[in-house]
Homo-oligomer: A and B are copies of this chain.
Amino acid sequence: MVLLDLLGRRMTLRILWELSIAGGPLTFRALQHAAQTNPSVLNSRLKELRNAQIIEHGGGGYQLSAMGKSLLAIILPLHVWADEWASLYKRNRAMPSRAKGNA
């Protein structure tokens, strides 16, 4: 699924999350700081997300589009599911190596 290819990328969800809790536009640097990443990756994600019309640029920074918000709403149940699942999952370590920060 193309969507997962996008969401699965390194900072995508983090960015959406930061934009979501910010509640308003965030500047490039602000996002970079909030998401703790480097310009190149951030720039890539921003391009992809903007192209996908999940976020918008303008009015003082980046923010979720209407579509982005609706996406977030759908992702939420997934997030909840993942939480319960995570406890089980962690019990038997040996997961894919790519997992760093977020739950």
Contacts and interface: CB of A to CB of B under 8 A. Distances in A.
Count identical subunits in the complex: 2
B48 A89 contact: no
Contacts of A86: 2-3
A92 interface: yes
Given A53-B92, A99-B2, A81 B85 contact: no
A82 B79 CA distance: 17
Interface of A: 1-9, 13, 48, 50-53, 67, 70-71, 74-75, 77-79, 81-82, 85-86, 88-89, 92-96, 98-99, 102-103
22 contacts: A1-B13, A1-B82, A1-B103, A2-B86, A2-B89, A2-B95, A3-B82, A4-B8, A5-B98, A6-B95, A7-B8, A8-B8, A8-B9, A48-B95, A51-B92, A51-B94, A52-B85, A52-B92, A53-B89, A67-B88, A74-B77, A74-B78
